[in-house]
Amino acid sequence: ELKVEQNPLFLSMQEGKNYTIYCNYSTTSDRLYWYRQDPGKSLESLFVLLSNGAVKQEGRLMASLDTKARLSTLHITAAVHDLSATYFCAGEETSGSRLTFGEGTQLTVNP
């Protein structure tokens, strides 16, 4: 059974700073996903990582995947207040099957 752990669970950072959120998973995962959730809102897909060494970037966010270490990271560069949200990683044991989510990282970016 796939288990997904994120850390930290809470992250308070200043605007302009860099930080990384870590996502460890327990067994082989076909894909690794990153989602963003604003309070009271649904999940917004950020990245899908398909293979070892995959790196994707969108604006100030960059996600990477190391399948050998069973680790994905979400790196935030020069944070801005608009990035405040909860970020989830999720693994998928086999293609097209259910996602297993981490507990989420609640990010607060302070001016």
Partner 1 sequence: GAGVSQSPRYKVAKRGQDVALRCDPISGHVSLFWYQQALGQGPEFLTYFQNEAQLDKSGLPSDRFFAERPEGSVSTLKIQRTQQEDSAVYLCASSLALIDGELFFGEGSRLTVL
Touching partner 1, residues 67-106 (CB under 8 A): 88, 90, 95-104
Which of 43, 54, 62, 71 touches partner 1 by CB under 8 A? 43
CB of 50 to partner 1, least distance (A): 9
Contacts with 39 (C-beta within 8 Å, 6 or more apart), sequence order: none
CB of 36 to partner 1, least distance (A): 11
Q: How many CB atoms lie within 10 A of CB 99?
A: 18
Sheet strands (E) in the chain? 4-7, 10-14, 19-25, 31-37, 43-49, 55-58, 61-66, 71-76, 85-92, 99-101, 105-110
- 43 vs 77, which CB is nearer to partner 1? 43
Interface contacts to partner 1, rule CB under 8 A: 4, 33, 41-45, 48, 88, 90, 95-104
